[in-house]
Structure formats: C-alpha cells, structure tokens
Amino acid sequence: MTVSVHVQPRARRNALELSAAGVLKAAVTAAPEDGKANVAVIALLAAAWRIPKSAIAVKQGAVARDKVFSVTGEPGALESRIGEWIDGNG
C-alpha cells in the first residue's frame, strides 16, 4: 500500500492531519537534514496508525516535501487502522 503525504519540516509541533481537500499533511519539528524529517514522519505515521516503524518506508520524494510512503503489512488490517485514524481525525 502507498500513502501520499505533504511534509512540513521545522514545524512548531509534530502533527498529522487530513485537510479538507483530502490531503494528508505531516508537520514535524525535525530539520530536513540527513533524513531526520523522514524518520520523524515515519515515527509520526507509525504512532498514529499503531503500526511498527519498520513497516513504513519512503518510496518517492526522499528530499521533497511531497512524499510517497510504502506501508507493508496485511492490507485489511492496514486499511482498518488508517480508516479508524481518518474517522477520528478527518
């Protein structure tokens, strides 16, 4: 499964939100240096969706703000957990 995320590095706080347009936005306090922001986004996604950090990897856009992450695991369980997060935060 792949997930598109718009990332805002050097934010005031870590936050994950779904915009009114349906765009997933991740704000992280980490700087976009040496992959620190990518690691922070992976940790944020993993915590929000209750999945292991090792199940998430950057697929496209490692140095861009618009990224595509691949999420591995059982598709039904992933869709359920992400759906629950969207219902609670969307």
pLDDT digits over 15-62, tens only?
Answer: 999 988 889 999 999 999 999 999 999 999 999 999 999 999 999 999
Residue written as tokens 């590095």?
9
DSSP letter string, 11-40 = -SS-EEEE-TTS-EEEE-SS-SSTTHHHHH
Tokens of 50: 């209750």
Position 90 pLDDT exceeds 80? no
pLDDT value, residue 20: 85
CATH class, 2-89 region: alpha beta
The predicted model scores a pTM of 0.93
Share of the chain above pLDDT 90, in %: 83
